Amino acid sequence: MSVVGKILLAILGVAVLAGAGLWFGIRHVASDISSHMITMDQFKGVHEGESRDAVRDRLGEPGGLQPQDKPKPPAGTTCDYYLQKHVALEKKQTFQICYRDGKVTATQALPSDEDEAARDKAKSSESARP
């Protein structure tokens, strides 16, 4: 085999390994994200006064991803965030569960991207009226 052939074969090998690594990395991240998703029914099953441990035992640990424009948590609380599963990406809601002293004090379903787009469109059409 010529030197050029060996170089091309080496480049092809590196490309295949890089592609395989990328594929496994994406699968791992996707699996990690989906393991922190819950259904609307699971979210509705969370009640004020319930312990954080009981909620996390039932729903799993919250994901590391948090909404960029999340609302400020109620004073003195810390909040967990879960993504909604079994819905299209633009319809996914983020569920906020806030705790004080290890007990649920507030829950809120944050609007989906689709909900926010509709709200923005309605606001802009209202302001355009004379």
Burial class (CB in 10 A: 0-12, 13-18, 19+), 33: middle
Q: Is the dihedral of CA 4, 10, 16, 22 positive or negative?
A: negative
How far are the Cα atoms of 54, 109, 116 from residue 122, in angstroms, in the given order?
Answer: 40, 20, 10
Mean pLDDT, range 75-90, rounded to an integer = 87
Q: How far is CA 55 from the centre of its chain?
A: 18
- pLDDT tens-place string over residues 3-17: 877 787 778 877 777
Q: What is the rounded (10 degree) CA torsion for 122, 86, 42, 37?
A: -100
Q: How far is CA 7 from the centre of its chain?
A: 43
Does the predicted model carry a pTM greater than 0.75? no
Q: What is the pLDDT of residue 26?
A: 55
Most confident of 25-34, 80-89, 102-111, 114-123: 102-111
Per-residue burial over 108-122, b if 16 or more Cβ lie within 10 Å, else e, is: bebebeeeeeeeeee
d(CA 62, CA 35): 9
Please list the residues that pair with 83 across neighbouring strands. 37, 94
